Structure 1
Amino acid sequence: MRTRHYGKPPARQSDWNAIKSLLPYLWEFRGRVVLALAFLALAKVATVAVPLVLKDIVDALSPGTAPLALPVFLLVAYGALRLANSTFGELRDAVFAKVTQRSIRRVALKVFEHLHNLALRFHLERQTGGMSRDIERGTAGIRFLLNFMLFNILPTILEIGFVAAILLVKYDPWFCIVTLVTLVVYIAFTLWVTEWRMIFRRNMNEMDSKANTRAIDSLLNYETVKYFNNEGFEARRYDETLQSWEKAAVRNQTSLSFLNIGQGAVIAVGVTILMLMAGQGVVRGTMTIGDLVLVNAFLIQLYMPLHFLGFVYREIRHSLADMERMFGLLAQNTEVSDRPDARDLHIRGGEIRFEHVGFGYDDRRMVLQDVSFDVPSGHKVAVVGASGAGKSTLSRLIFRFYDATTGRILIDGQDIRDVTQKSLRRAIGIVPQDTVLFNDTIYYNIAYGQPDATREEIIEAARSAHIHEFVETLPDKYDTLVGERGLKLSGGEKQRVAIARTLLKNPPILVFDEATSALDSRTEKAIQAELQEIATNHTTLVIAHRLSTIMDADQILVMEHGQIVERGTHGELLAQGGAYAHMWALQQQEQQEEEEKLKAVGV
């Protein structure tokens, strides 16, 4: 099967696409955005007005003049403008907070829902640790992008315009020219170096995701690591990725230092030239001390945010790089989706029909070929065959984890591709071979079959699955945590939880996908009786490994290499003396040998 790498940056337009994807969230709170921008503009007006007032104060108090009175009004105005600057800035942040947090929430929810809508193929190929890190970095990138694009780049540009206009109107045009040339050189240098540095950031992200993938995978398989004494091997694999991340991080930091030095040099040259010009103007008498202070204050006010603007631009580019992989997830095709005119599945009896169904996980290899059979309403049909014959693929197709390549699947005469996936899966319950539970309580895991069920209904389902008595012996009873993937419970206990969950859902159609093949014989017999009981009056498809568990089936299908080679009841198939009879003989022999071994050890 070809491996699909999700989240690869799709050329240069990805940055603009990432920004465009955030615009609907800003538009939803357009009133707040406008108000925040108004506070921003007022804060910048106050910021630019401060040096102008400061110039008048200095001129009024200069030693060369005889002040008639203390310029109280100017001093109060100076303080008021300082207060206005900080107050409007805080009001801006307070008004915009809901926009930022709601945007992050909406995008995170959109990614989460999209991941659940993706086909099983994607989830079989995904790397959970790296994917979770990509989402984590992506949401952090959104927060930074929204705040700093609106509240740092925009106000800095606004401030540059104000300052340039004042310098042009009040002083020699060369003040404005030198200021603008310095800005152009600074911005050009920042853009050039930042683009060059992005390769290091992307490499860091890739190595970070890879390291997290290896760490999560190793921890999820903790027991396997211990069984084979491979702690050192896992640590070396993890450290190999961290070494690559370290190299990229060092290059990222050294290139950042180069960028900061260059930016500092550009600003220093520009400030020096302007101060020399202002100092010369004072000496010549064309400018006052207040003018010198004004120019200096403007330069400090201008170049400090400009220097920060360089940082903001770098971080915005980093944020866009962080968001690339997350938005790459949203770009994944869902593969299986509802048709625009899809309607809910209407269940009358729950009859299942496969009509000439063919399917392949890969175009080069078909798993099912021309499979046709019926499961009449209220009947039990079993499917048996060697591993890889395509048995479990049948259940995946019924649930529409994949769509059939050829042919069609009908439930009560309705093509399952014409109905909504939600209504389809609501009508089907499954007890799988490998029951994976949520790392929560037993109560939660049973209630998952119908989250709005009452406690009495949940306990009744547990009684029917014969697990209630066991739960009552536990110290925390139904509040007992089952651990990661339910590892604190035995195989039989997990299967009973799965049965209780399915009983609580109470669907008209049941699928038992080798539900007891991983259990010992004694546990299997106990659970098999429970499965037979709940299958009564349900349309049931049983995918079986042990033939002794499906002797009572209304029909048994024998599959080989993706095709049905035999069909009939247990007795009819034994009488045919074909593949089923051969499988039965082998399993009977294995069971006899197992019983003889148990007798030999006195069990």
Structure 2
Amino acid sequence: MSESKFDYSGLKRVVKIGMSYRGLFTAVVIVAILSAIVSTYRPYLMKDAIDQYILLKDLPGLFQFIFIIVAVLIFEVILQFFVIFLANKIAQRVIKYLRVRLFNHIIRFKLGYFDRTPNGVLVTRSVSDIETIAEIFNNGILTLMVDALRIIFMISIMYYMNWSLATIVILILPLMVVITNLFQKALKKVYQAERTLTAKLNTFVQERLTGINIVQLFNRQAAEFENFKVINKELRTAFLKTNVYFALLFPVVDVVSAVAIGLLLWFGGLRTALEGDVSVGEMIAFISYIGMLTQPMRQIADRFNAIQRGLIGADRVFKILDDDQTLPNKGNEFLNEVKGEIDFKDVQFSYIPDSPVLKGISFHSEPGQKIAIVGATGAGKSTIINLLSRFYDIDSGDILIDGKSIYSMELKNLRSHIAVVLQDVFLFNSTIYENIILGKTNISLEEVQKAAKDIGIHEFIMSLPKGYHSEVSERGGTLSVGQRQLISFLRAYVYNPQILVLDEATSSIDTESESLIQNATEKLTEGRTSIIIAHRLATIQNADQILVMDDGKIVERGTHSELLKQEGYYNNLYEVQFQTNE
């Protein structure tokens, strides 16, 4: 969004969403018009009370007229309540719509987007930036409309009462417009800096809390606290700049208002004394109108600033909504059953252009075979399973399942036939049972319990305080690595996939869980095609085929015994591990 121009396209887009709630929008417009008319009429009633009753000492008539004024005041208060209430209701519906749409949009993005975008930035966009959009309605266009109508009605009624006095009052309007415009431009830059620093602070806090074990392990508490204070100070400075501008704006408006009242008293007083064509009631009414006129002018500056703040948030949100980072899902083939035949044909892939990670990978797996992939860190092992699940798209070549390219298959259908058990198991802050079924409500608790018994982990789960209904903290922090791994095995098992991927699933387990995981692995891989990425060569000795990778290429392939006979890369790796274990 331009630094110097008002984002009319963004405002139009936000208002269009608000206007989709036609009943509410129409109601708030009608109430706003009535509120502007009633509030403008009040000083005129005061003029009549002074000129027709107070100066003439008509006390009975004055008391009756006071009841009319009180009734008008009560009606005005009721109308103002409904303006604020309805405006807030529209705002909350708009941000609910945008937040749901934004989250639904983000969770479909390809993994490459999350690799280069900090989670804290996305949290800021989804929460605080959307909250600022509410200000466009809460304290923005709808209340701005009321203020604008009041100004129009006040100018009209003042000219109806006395055109000469009205002209004096109107002279302050151009000056107020200039002041408002200057402050609006200055505040826009401050608000943009404020939103940027808010996202930066959110990202910093989110990363440090996620990696709190690293922070404490390397005694980084003091250093990270100092870094936090620096960012927090920058954010405080941005907020203080906003306050400084407002602290300047309001006194300037008050000075302009005082000058207008002084001119009115001087000119109106002379006309009253010399000509007698300006009444006392008119003078008091005009003084009230000056206060009422400068108040919305002051508020208009505030309204524009609220709109500006909301539009900066909207600009950030719409940029994500307009950015299509989803993987192309043009496949139209749906496979009800998959045998599990897998073919990689000369697959080349790079996360970063011109930096290939896989350099012509080709292999074939028969249905039900167990394929193991070994190699040094960074050889490209995990990349293979990311491509099989279509988390990323390849640069060239093809990947086939049962003779059909995965790019011809509908994406959700493809992934429904594949289950992945990762080394770093992610568990949500929910119950064991809910972490296993992951929202698949057609999997009953009884089915989960039967599956747990099949792979031998039912007793472990029942040993937890509430069994399958035990709460799991964020990322499964209350469970050991092995326990989290067992739950991920069960999660994969109940989904009954035709293709199973184990990514370093047994590389960091504790002794207590090792035998359980070995049994679960045997049960899980039985009768289904399995791709196992492992550091422990002892766990893959019975694999039907072992692929040895180095620098993005398959350098050796064969069974365990065949590879040992070659006395190459695999044999050296095996001997190193054997000697280490000894």
Matches within 5 A, 1:349-388: 349-388=339-378
The yes-or-no answer on 1:140 pairing with 2:115 is no
The match for 2:485 among 482, 485, 495 is 495
The equivalent residue for 1:149 is: 140
Instruction: Using the TM superposition, name which of 417-426 and 379-388 deviates more.
Output: 417-426
The yes-or-no answer on 1:321 pairing with 2:312 is yes
Contact 2:432–2:472 (CA under 8 A) maintained in structure 1: yes
Query: How much does 1:153 deviate?
Result: 0.9
Distance in 1 between residues matched to 2:431 and 2:302, nearest whole Å: 47
Instruction: Using the TM superposition, name which of 519-528 and 207-216 deviates more.
Output: 519-528
Matches within 5 A, 1:452-491: 452-491=442-481
Matches within 5 A, 1:519-558: 519-520=509-510, 523-558=513-548
Deviations 1:161-184 (A, max 9, x none): 111122233322x44444444222
- What amino acid does structure 2 have at the position aligned with 1:40? A
Matches within 5 A, 1:35-184: 35-63=27-55, 65=56, 67=58, 70=61, 74-172=65-163, 174-184=164-174
Contact 1:186–1:267 (CA under 8 A) maintained in structure 2: no
- What amino acid does structure 2 have at the position aligned with 1:60? Q
Matches within 5 A, 1:335-354: 335-339=326-330, 342-354=332-344
The yes-or-no answer on 1:251 pairing with 2:241 is yes
> CA 1:429–1:14 in structure 2 vs 1: closer, same or farther (change >3 Å)?
farther
The equivalent residue for 1:4 is: none
The match for 1:293 among 271, 284, 297 is 284
> CA 1:234–1:348 in structure 2 vs 1: closer, same or farther (change >3 Å)?
closer
Match of 2:26, SS state, is helix
Distance in 2 between residues matched to 1:504 and 1:197, nearest whole Å: 56
Contact 2:91–2:135 (CA under 8 A) maintained in structure 1: no
Instruction: Using the TM superposition, name which of 328-337 and 300-309 deviates more.
Output: 328-337
Contact 1:556–1:567 (CA under 8 A) maintained in structure 2: yes
The equivalent residue for 2:432 is: 442
Match of 1:90, SS state, is helix
Query: How much does 1:399 deviate?
Result: 1.7
Contact 2:257–2:290 (CA under 8 A) maintained in structure 1: no
The equivalent residue for 1:508 is: 498
- What amino acid does structure 2 have at the position aligned with 1:394? I
Deviations 1:133-170 (A, max 9, x none): 34332122122112223332111111111111222333
Contact 2:349–2:395 (CA under 8 A) maintained in structure 1: yes
The match for 1:15 among 7, 10, 26 is 7
> CA 1:358–1:181 in structure 2 vs 1: closer, same or farther (change >3 Å)?
farther
Contact 2:18–2:25 (CA under 8 A) maintained in structure 1: yes
- What amino acid does structure 1 have at the position aligned with 2:485? Q
- What amino acid does structure 2 have at the position aligned with 1:289? V
The yes-or-no answer on 1:228 pairing with 2:214 is no
- What amino acid does structure 2 have at the position aligned with 1:157? A
> CA 1:293–1:40 in structure 2 vs 1: closer, same or farther (change >3 Å)?
same
Distance in 1 between residues matched to 2:509 and 2:229, nearest whole Å: 38
- What amino acid does structure 2 have at the position aligned with 1:337? P
Distance in 2 between residues matched to 1:11 and 1:509, nearest whole Å: 53
Contact 1:190–1:263 (CA under 8 A) maintained in structure 2: no
Distance in 1 between residues matched to 2:191 and 2:566, nearest whole Å: 67
Contact 1:350–1:509 (CA under 8 A) maintained in structure 2: yes
> CA 1:184–1:353 in structure 2 vs 1: closer, same or farther (change >3 Å)?
farther
> CA 1:402–1:394 in structure 2 vs 1: closer, same or farther (change >3 Å)?
same
Instruction: Using the TM superposition, name which of 45-54 and 347-356 deviates more.
Output: 347-356
Deviations 1:483-538 (A, max 9, x none): 23112211111100001111122222211111111225674454133112111222
Deviations 1:111-130 (A, max 9, x none): 21222122212222333334
Distance in 1 between residues matched to 2:287 and 2:86, nearest whole Å: 33
Match of 1:369, SS state, is strand
Unpaired runs of 5+ residues, structure 1, are 1-8, 594-603
> CA 1:142–1:73 in structure 2 vs 1: closer, same or farther (change >3 Å)?
same
Query: How much does 1:106 deviate?
Result: 1.2
- What amino acid does structure 2 have at the position aligned with 1:330? L
Match of 1:110, SS state, is helix
Contact 1:54–1:290 (CA under 8 A) maintained in structure 2: yes
The equivalent residue for 2:227 is: 237
Query: How much does 1:278 deviate?
Result: 3.0
Deviations 1:317-357 (A, max 9, x none): 22333444344433444152323x64545544232222221
- What amino acid does structure 2 have at the position aligned with 1:136? V
- TM normalised by structure 1 equals 0.89
Match of 1:489, SS state, is coil
Query: How much does 1:265 deviate?
Result: 2.3
Distance in 2 between residues matched to 1:320 and 1:541, nearest whole Å: 49
Distance in 1 between residues matched to 2:188 and 2:6, nearest whole Å: 14
Contact 1:465–1:497 (CA under 8 A) maintained in structure 2: no
Query: How many aligned residue pairs are there?
Result: 581
Match of 2:433, SS state, is helix
Contact 2:369–2:528 (CA under 8 A) maintained in structure 1: yes
- What amino acid does structure 1 have at the position aligned with 2:13? S
Distance in 2 between residues matched to 1:68 and 1:246, nearest whole Å: 57
Query: How much does 1:391 deviate?
Result: 0.7
- What amino acid does structure 2 have at the position aligned with 1:91? F
RMSD between superposed Cα atoms in Å:
2.5
Query: How much does 1:395 deviate?
Result: 1.0
Distance in 1 between residues matched to 2:403 and 2:167, nearest whole Å: 79
Deviations 1:291-335 (A, max 9, x none): 112212222222222222222222222233344434443344415
Deviations 1:236-269 (A, max 9, x none): 1111212222333333322332222322222322
Match of 2:224, SS state, is helix
Give percent identity, aligned residues only: 29
Contact 1:442–1:481 (CA under 8 A) maintained in structure 2: yes
Contact 2:417–2:499 (CA under 8 A) maintained in structure 1: yes
Instruction: Using the TM superposition, name which of 442-451 and 187-196 deviates more.
Output: 442-451
- What amino acid does structure 2 have at the position aligned with 1:107? L
> CA 1:394–1:188 in structure 2 vs 1: closer, same or farther (change >3 Å)?
same
Query: How much does 1:452 deviate?
Result: 4.1
Contact 2:338–2:498 (CA under 8 A) maintained in structure 1: no
- What amino acid does structure 2 have at the position aligned with 1:109? V
Distance in 1 between residues matched to 2:493 and 2:78, nearest whole Å: 60
Distance in 1 between residues matched to 2:168 and 2:409, nearest whole Å: 68
- What amino acid does structure 2 have at the position aligned with 1:478? Y
The yes-or-no answer on 1:581 pairing with 2:571 is yes
The match for 1:33 among 25, 47, 72 is 25
Query: How much does 1:13 deviate?
Result: 6.8
